[in-house]
């Protein structure tokens, strides 16, 4: 495998796409490739120095004559500069807009012919793709990229349905760093959160956007805690947090719902969890499902988006129809009251990550894509 110089652009703030882009960059660097992140701030998973990893910050100035700061133009200019100065072999951008469009413009500004790989993560298609003012730009970004990947077959199908681009799209699934997400001893962590040893722990992790339907998670837990001594850990923060707190209060379960906010010790928290709930109405993949499964936590998810590509009924968890909190609670109770079933699903979850989503296999897929774009003259 040739060592390559790879530029990566993503949204650096907390979010699945930023996590995948950053972990991919770090692992490529470990394999000896030179990785250049070109982002508006340092990606949150890049908090220290890593060999072979370089960070180029896009400075966006505000001018009183402009109503909006020109991030896209500043990014394209920075991409052009890094392509030329660092002699990049290719760019891998995450999100069709603005990042694919910026990379295309940046490559043109640099007078270069390097390959551009664009990964679609979901929000760029399922949310932005419905906006008629953006649809043509998304199509342009996809069609002018050299290779386009989507994080699930479902997202790929949805992209053809909504945007209908004249471009092949390959599915390359998300992955986790198994060195971080695995079974581990976490000592007294349960106690530190005031959870009794015999209490079951349900967990939900998200950015609390409306599409995550955190209300369904709380409604499911409400039914569960009536029959099984349990606590619900809600991890993350976002626009729906206030409503979630109010709902827990109205249901009289505020003592049983732990609002933990944003956390960076997710793998430890999964290791005290018995069950994960993700009941979103849009979820191109559901990286958090994989993170939980890698720590041996079975998952209950909604039968939408990419979730059916991860959750196998009765093998590593259960799928329910969107909004069916009765069924979600019934499955949860089945798991939490049957240690044998819980153990079997735990094993299934660990095997799923190992056999279908292992980082080594996913990295190889990306490297093969990159190789196919080298030496373009
Ligand atoms: O889920 C979010 O709101 C964040 C979003 C993002 O763009 O970072 O996540 C998307 O990309 C992740 C990584 O590929 C996927 O695992 C998530 O399913 C996807 N989110 C949605 O489709 C809503």
Q: Average pLDDT, stretch 204-216?
A: 97
- pLDDT tens column, 98-154: 999 999 999 999 999 999 999 999 987 876 767 788 899 999 999 999 999 999 999
Q: Whose CA is nearest to atom 20 of ligand 1?
A: 283
CA dihedral 191, 19, 170, 30 (to 10 degrees): -100
Q: Is residue 183 part of a domain?
A: no
Judge whether residue 256 has pLDDT over 90.
yes
pLDDT, position 129: 66
Which atom of ligand 1 is nearest the CA belonging to 18?
8
Kindly report the CATH number assigned to the domain that includes residue 12: 3.40.50.2000
Q: What is the mean pLDDT of residues 240-253?
A: 98
Q: pTM for the full model? A: 0.96
Q: Rounded to the nearest whole angstrom, what is the distance from the C-alpha of residue 123 to the centroid of ligand 1?
A: 6
Long-range contacts of 104-111 (CB under 8 A, 24+ apart): 104/140, 104/141, 104/144, 104/145, 105/76, 105/79, 105/80, 106/75, 106/76, 106/77, 106/78, 106/79, 106/80, 107/79, 107/80, 107/83, 109/76, 109/77, 109/80, 110/79, 110/80, 110/81, 110/83, 110/84
Same domain, 281 and 362: no
Residue 288 alpha carbon, nearest atom of ligand 1: 16
- The whole-angstrom separation of Cα 259 and Cα 18 is 23
* Mean pLDDT across 151-167: 96
| Residue 48: per-residue pLDDT | 82
Per residue in 294-336, pLDDT (tens digit) is 999 999 999 999 999 999 999 999 999 999 999 999 999 999 9
Q: Rounded to the nearest whole angstrom, what is the distance from the C-alpha of residue 317 to the centroid of ligand 1?
A: 20
Give the Cα separation of 195 and 218 in Å (integer): 18
- Is residue 182 situated within a structural domain? no
Q: pLDDT value at position 96?
A: 93
Dihedral sign for Cα atoms in the order 166, 152, 354, 312: negative
pLDDT in the model for residue 14: 66
Mutate to test the pocket of ligand 1, among 17, 21, 281 (most ligand atoms within 8 A of CB): 17
Tell me, yes or no, whether 213 and 346 share the same domain.
Answer: yes
Instruction: Tell me the percentage of the chain whose pLDDT exceeds 90.
Output: 88
Q: Which residues pair with 204 in a beta bridge?
A: 234
**Mean pLDDT computed over every residue of the chain:** 95
Gap from CA of 55 to ligand 1 centroid (Å): 23
Secondary structure (DSSP) of 161-193: HHT--SS-EEE------TTTSS----TTHHHHT
Count: domains in the chain: 2
* Residue 376 counted as domain residue: no
More confident residue, 128 or 361: 361
Domain assignment of residue 269, yes or no: yes
The per-residue pLDDT for 377 is 57
Specify the pLDDT at position 25: 97
Q: Which of 20, 157, 285 to mutate to test the pocket of ligand 1 (most atoms within 8 A of CB)?
A: 285
> Beta partners for 308?
none
For residues 169 and 232, state if they share a domain.
Answer: no
Q: Does the residue 184 lie in any domain? A: no
Does the residue 28 lie in any domain?
yes
- Comparison of pLDDT for 296 and 40, the residue scoring more: 296
Q: Is 241 exposed, middle or buried (0-12, 13-18, 19+ CB in 10 A)?
A: middle
Nearest-CA residue for ligand 1 atom 21 is: 283
Residue 45: the pLDDT is 80
Q: What is the dihedral of CA 142, 147, 148, 151, to 10 degrees?
A: -170
Other Cβ atoms within 10 Å of 52 Cβ, number: 18
Q: Among residues of the chain, what percentage have pLDDT more than 70?
A: 99
181 has pLDDT over 70: yes
In a shared domain, residues 140 and 68: yes
The predicted complex's ipTM stands at: 0.98
**Residues contacting 362, CB < 8 A, separation 6+:** 172, 173, 174, 175
Residue 49 has pLDDT above 80, yes or no: yes
Give ligand 1 pocket residues (Cβ under 6 A).
Answer: 15-18, 20, 121-123, 126, 151, 174, 207, 209, 211, 282-287
Domain containing 296: what range? 189-356
For a mutational test of ligand 1's pocket, the pick from 118, 211, 284, i.e. the residue with the most ligand atoms closer than 8 A to its C-beta, is 284
**Residue 181 falls within a domain, yes or no?**
no
**Residue 128: inside a domain, yes or no?**
yes
């Amino acid at each position: 495998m040739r060592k390559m110089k790879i530029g990566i652009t993503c949204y650096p703030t907390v979010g699945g796409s930023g996590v995948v882009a950053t972990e991919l960059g770090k692992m490529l660097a470990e394999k000896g490739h030179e990785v250049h992140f070109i982002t508006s701030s340092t990606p949150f998973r890049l908090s220290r120095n890593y060999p072979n990893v370089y960070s180029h910050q896009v400075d966006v100035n505000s001018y009183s004559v402009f109503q909006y700061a020109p991030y896209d133009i500043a990014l394209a200019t920075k991409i052009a500069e890094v392509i030329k100065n660092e002699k990049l072999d290719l760019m891998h951008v995450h999100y069709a807009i603005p990042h694919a469009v910026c990379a295309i413009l940046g490559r043109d500004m640099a007078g270069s012919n390097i390959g551009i790989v664009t990964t679609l993560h979901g929000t760029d298609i399922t949310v932005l793709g419905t906006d008629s003012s953006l649809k043509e730009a998304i199509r342009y970004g996809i069609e002018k990229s050299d290779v386009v990947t989507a994080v699930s077959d479902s997202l790929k199908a949805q992209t053809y349905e909504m945007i209908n681009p004249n471009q092949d799209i390959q599915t390359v699934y998300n992955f986790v760093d198994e060195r971080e997400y695995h079974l581990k001893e976490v000592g007294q962590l349960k106690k530190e959160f005031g959870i009794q040893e015999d209490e079951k722990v349900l967990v939900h992790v998200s950015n609390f956007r409306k599409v995550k339907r955190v209300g369904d998670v709380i409604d499911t837990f409400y039914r569960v805690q009536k029959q099984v001594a349990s606590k619900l850990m809600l991890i993350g923060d976002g626009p729906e947090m206030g409503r979630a707190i109010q709902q827990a209060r109205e249901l009289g379960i505020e003592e049983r719902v732990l609002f933990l906010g944003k956390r960076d010790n997710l793998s430890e928290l999964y290791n005290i969890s018995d069950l994960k709930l993700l009941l979103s109405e849009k979820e191109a993949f559901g990286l958090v499902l994989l993170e939980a499964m890698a720590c041996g936590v079975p998952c209950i998810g909604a039968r939408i988006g990419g979730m059916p590509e991860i959750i196998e009924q009765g093998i590593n968890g259960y799928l329910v129809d969107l909004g069916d909190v009765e069924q979600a609670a019934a499955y949860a109770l089945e798991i939490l009251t049957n240690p044998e079933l819980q153990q079997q699903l735990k094993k299934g979850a660990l095997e799923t990550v190992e056999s279908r989503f292992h980082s080594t296999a996913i990295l190889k897929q990306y490297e093969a894509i990159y190789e196919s774009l080298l030496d373009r003259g």
